[in-house]
A and B are shown apart, each in its own frame.
Chain A
Amino acid sequence: MADAPMTTSPAPTNRPIWQRSVSRRAVLATGATGAAAAALAVLWKGNDLSQILNHVRDLTHGYQGALASERVRVAHLLRRAGFGATRAELDHYVSMGQSAATEALLNYSKTSNSALEGQLPTIDLAGPTQPAATAIQGWWLQRMVGTARPLEEKMTLFWHGLLTSGLDKAGAAQLFTQNQLYRSMALGNFDALLKAVSKDPAMMVYLDTETNRKGKPNENYARELMELFTTGIGHYTEDDVRESARSFTGWTLQGGKQLRYATASQFVPRLHDAGLKTFMGKTGSFTGDDIVEMLVPLRATAVRLSTKLFSYFAYPNPEPDVVNHLADTFQKSRYNVGAVVREIFTMDAFYSDKAYRALVKTPAELVAQTLKATGANARGYTAAAAAMAPMGQVLFYPPNVAGWPGGNSWINSSTLLTRINFANAAAQRAGATLSSQTLAQLSETLVDANVSPATKDGLQAFVTAHPDDQAGLLFMVLATPEFQLN
């Protein structure tokens, strides 16, 4: 359920919602109570608060106005467009100013990443065995922590969570290859990306297009392409699934390697069903590319992808006006993802009180930001990537084709203890190598120097009681509830 659109505002303005600050209080005044009532109406038990909380945003949190400071806005941007920042990184982007920092993040191809590339371990795809899963997981986590192009990595993770494939079916070499594909097309054209993914070996194994043959259609990819990657459920029929599956026939894995090793694909005309298909009311001898070209322009696709992107970067359940504006942007730009992301990062809504700490740090974000604070060596990256499992996120191993459910589901009693214990272990491990930082410095870098009074007092009490325990202090900051949010 989406929040109620803002049709009125306490401060009269002609600006559309996406250029207007959205305060929680204003939303409350203009219709969230209606949304709450509607949420109530669908509940099993009318007084079930837990359900309302999932769908009605808070309107009165204690950090109003936090984003008035440009330093906090830049820190917020770096958390969302990337994986947080070290103190030096934050200083660097703040010195550029918010506007130039945003441009630098978006136009990342101009930023050299050679320092990171020089440090990364080599992943050998040509060898006789698969790379180890732990090797590519550590490699990717190291990229997230060390990249000079944070948005490139953040978008790669977005595509991994949306256009999913996993090690439960595909091989590590294939997942690694797919990961490079997502990185190379991270902010590109969605039509081109979907055409490439349809022929990507990891995807072909994960959703079975590699077995999809003329006369023997396999519905797996065809269904998920519509249900999860483009329009969403409710915009196609079971017949569309079957006809789409026929259209995608003909692509196979290349070379004589075993199923899970092939990292290239090819089109074999004799395996393609060139007959007439009827898809969404149109008839033709369609190929898979034709199906993609019919799905991408649909409004449902634009709305769904826009909702996903905004929810990933700003806050969940965006207002219909916000979504429609982004969907318009997507369609007018001929399906350019970068145009939509640029729009999100320049919306007032992105810097509204409603957006501040509106997302739970995903395990990837939590671990990457923690490693930025503690430092890590090569072995540290693979260990930390493995430590994400009990938090509910294993890179290259989404729980199913729908990706990680995210949001509140990251937090339960087990994962919360795991997250806190991870911070403890990471700080302990860094121990003597930690640079000496005051509470004020740590607090500013990690939690915008903006925590509840009780937490502030508690942290100060820790410093007083344990003046020389740098690791303990870092842990205490990482364990705050404020740090759990992004």
Chain B
Amino acid sequence: MFSRRDFLKQGLLPVFAGSAVPSVFANGVAAAAADSPNATPSDRVLVLVQLAGGNDGLNTVIPFQDGAYHDARPTLRQDQGVLQLNAQLGLHPSLKGLKASWDAGQLAIVQGVGYPNPNLSHFASMSIWETASVQGGIGDGWLGRYLNYLDQVGETPNHALEGVSAGSLVPPELRSKTPVTALQSLKTFRLQPVNEHGTMVDVENPLMKFYGAFKNAGPAPFGALFDTTLQEALQASHALQATDASYQAKATYPANSPIASSLKLVAETIVSGLGVRVAHVTLGGFDNHSREKPVHDKLLLDLDQALAAFLQDLQGHGLSDRVLVMTWSEFGRRVKENGSAGTDHGTAAPMFLLGAPVKGGLYGQQPSLTDLDNGNLKFGTDFRTVYASVLQNYLKAPASELLGGNYELLPLLKA
């Protein structure tokens, strides 16, 4: 086993000046093959979908028979077209794809998910969910710890594409010393050569030297950060160039939908056999303090259509059994709507687990809409119970160690 620096050195052309691009990438191909991200095709993938801003759980999984719901939501209640799950509960009318998954036994809904002493700050509560610690803070993310665990047990090569996020930032859930790659496009993820009068001049080698020297010369944390990041970027870039670029989506993803583009990128990464184990995508815009209905209806529609395409795409590639999708949001919203036809910050809300690995059905208890805490729902299921179930039963990782505590395991997943 050689270090990533060795790997990169071997993966790069030794010449600085005058080397043409294609040969650089040809070498990248050889190096990436040595790293063998394709060697573990049966690995399971968790795709985390963050609904940022605080999704209105009551208007997502709707207690349409509850008089208290109608009283609390005079303008926001969904009267028409609720997609019935049972005699009491139904999905928001936008969620037709999720309903189809439900009918196929591939949607688990965990109701009333939250944590003790709920924090109504977006950022404090996000941090709690991201670190799986009610203290929140800047520690490693719960999935960063999982990726780190994989490295420790030697189950995966320590390569930068085992954790990926769609977008320009690495989300805190994936934070740890294990490298994670923010992906915006597989095609542009490379260092462009310098075009000197039509001759393409490789810059990887000189820049590797600059950044390698900076590791010691530069001010920490930046010296190490820049050097490591460039190594990871080039490693990931070479692996990406090495893949068969023949990915063809086996579903029609909605146009002009950022969440659909993100999920398509994740699908491409999975299908291309890059060794991804955890992927993160974000759909923002759920902080609907005013005029919630049209905005929320559209967000859920975008989410549903993107997820439906994603699942269809994976199925078309024969990968359904390997991929679990889980949604989360930092909190639900106040039971009673405010005067702006919106809702203020709340607490407990449902989570979705979606895909072939799921044992479909309802889990946990639907919270009471009348026995409230300061106008907010009382949670029934700790979110770490859901995390633990996924870690232990799906990812086969030691949940209590990774979460720093023992949590009940819900039978959400097939063996």
In whole angstroms, how far apart are the Cα atoms of A44 and B176 in the complex? 10
Q: How large is the interface on A (under 10, 10 to 19, 20 to 34, 35 or more residues)?
A: 35 or more
In whole angstroms, how far apart are the Cα atoms of A392 and B290 in the complex? 28
Which parts of A391-407 form the interface with B (CB within 8 Å)? Answer: 391-392, 399-402, 405
Closest beta carbon of chain A to B63's beta carbon, Å: 24
A54-B221 in contact (CB<8A): yes
A481-B211 in contact (CB<8A): yes
Q: Which of A143-151, A182-190, A364-372, A417-425 contacts B (4 or more CB under 8 A)?
A: A417-425
In the complex, what residues of A have CB within 8 A of residue B338's CB?
216-219
Closest chain A residue, CB of each to CB of B337: A216
Which parts of A194-245 form the interface with B (CB within 8 Å)? Answer: 207-208, 210-213, 215-220, 223, 227, 233, 238, 241
Closest chain B residue, CB of each to CB of A219: B344
Which residue of B16, B168, B203, B345 contacts A389 across the interface (Cβ within 8 Å)?
A: B168
Interface assignment of B195: CB less than 8 Å from any CB of chain A:
yes
Closest chain A residue, CB of each to CB of B123: A402
Which residue of B53, B177, B184, B345 contacts A50 across the interface (Cβ within 8 Å)?
A: B177
Closest beta carbon of chain B to A299's beta carbon, Å: 20
Closest beta carbon of chain A to B13's beta carbon, Å: 15
In the complex, what residues of A have CB within 8 A of residue B139's CB?
42-44, 51
In whole angstroms, how far apart are the Cα atoms of A31 and B341 in the complex? 54
Closest chain A residue, CB of each to CB of B137: A42
In the complex, what residues of A have CB within 8 A of residue B350's CB?
none
Interface assignment of B342: CB less than 8 Å from any CB of chain A:
yes
In the complex, what residues of A have CB within 8 A of residue B17's CB?
462, 465-466
Which residue of A48, A58, A233, A484 contacts B226 across the interface (Cβ within 8 Å)?
A: A484
A408-B225 in contact (CB<8A): yes
Closest beta carbon of chain B to A385's beta carbon, Å: 15
Interface assignment of B355: CB less than 8 Å from any CB of chain A:
no
In the complex, what residues of B have CB within 8 A of residue A44's CB?
139-140, 145, 404
Interface assignment of B121: CB less than 8 Å from any CB of chain A:
yes
B16-A409 in contact (CB<8A): no
Q: A51-B139, A212-B340, A216-B339 are in contact. Are A481 and B210 (CB under 8 A)?
A: yes
In the complex, what residues of B have CB within 8 A of residue A106's CB?
none
In the complex, what residues of A have CB within 8 A of residue B201's CB?
466, 472
Q: How large is the interface on B (under 10, 10 to 19, 20 to 34, 35 or more residues)?
A: 35 or more
Interface assignment of A109: CB less than 8 Å from any CB of chain B:
no
A413-B221 in contact (CB<8A): no
In the complex, what residues of A have CB within 8 A of residue B123's CB?
227, 402
A62-B218 in contact (CB<8A): yes
In whole angstroms, how far apart are the Cα atoms of A454 and B53 in the complex? 46
Which parts of B218-242 form the interface with A (CB within 8 Å)? Answer: 218-227, 229-230, 232-233, 236-237
In the complex, what residues of A have CB within 8 A of residue B232's CB?
413
In the complex, what residues of A have CB within 8 A of residue B211's CB?
481
Closest beta carbon of chain B to A414's beta carbon, Å: 4
Encoded as 1 (CB less than 8 Å from any A CB) or 0, chain B from 196 to 210 comes to 110001010011011
Interface assignment of A434: CB less than 8 Å from any CB of chain B:
no
Closest beta carbon of chain A to B121's beta carbon, Å: 6
Interface assignment of B4: CB less than 8 Å from any CB of chain A:
no
Which residue of A211, A233, A458 contacts B206 across the interface (Cβ within 8 Å)?
A: A458
Interface assignment of A107: CB less than 8 Å from any CB of chain B:
no
A168-B285 in contact (CB<8A): yes
Closest beta carbon of chain A to B407's beta carbon, Å: 16
Q: A390-B168, A413-B232 are in contact. Are A57 and B222 (CB under 8 A)?
A: no
In the complex, what residues of B have CB within 8 A of residue A132's CB?
none
Residue from B148, B177, B188, B214 whose CB has the most chain A CB atoms within 10 Å: B214
Interface assignment of B212: CB less than 8 Å from any CB of chain A:
yes
Residue from B196, B214, B219, B287 whose CB has the most chain A CB atoms within 10 Å: B219
Which parts of B385-415 form the interface with A (CB within 8 Å)? Answer: 404
Interface assignment of A461: CB less than 8 Å from any CB of chain B:
yes
Which residue of B120, B190, B339 contacts A211 across the interface (Cβ within 8 Å)?
A: B339
Interface assignment of B1: CB less than 8 Å from any CB of chain A:
no
B140-A55 in contact (CB<8A): no
A466-B196 in contact (CB<8A): yes
Interface assignment of A67: CB less than 8 Å from any CB of chain B:
no
In the complex, what residues of A have CB within 8 A of residue B207's CB?
420, 479
Closest beta carbon of chain B to A455's beta carbon, Å: 4
Interface assignment of A415: CB less than 8 Å from any CB of chain B:
yes
Interface assignment of A452: CB less than 8 Å from any CB of chain B:
yes
Listed in ascending order, the chain B residues whose CB lies under 8 Å from chain A are 16-18, 52-53, 120-124, 137-140, 145, 148, 160, 168-170, 175-177, 179-184, 188-192, 194-197, 201, 203, 206-207, 209-214, 216-227, 229-230, 232-233, 236-237, 284-285, 287, 289-291, 338-342, 344-345, 374, 404
Name 19 A/B residue pairs within 8 A (Cβ), A-sorted.
A51-B177, A53-B225, A61-B217, A61-B218, A168-B285, A212-B340, A227-B121, A389-B168, A411-B226, A411-B229, A413-B160, A416-B226, A417-B189, A417-B190, A421-B191, A421-B192, A455-B209, A469-B194, A471-B194
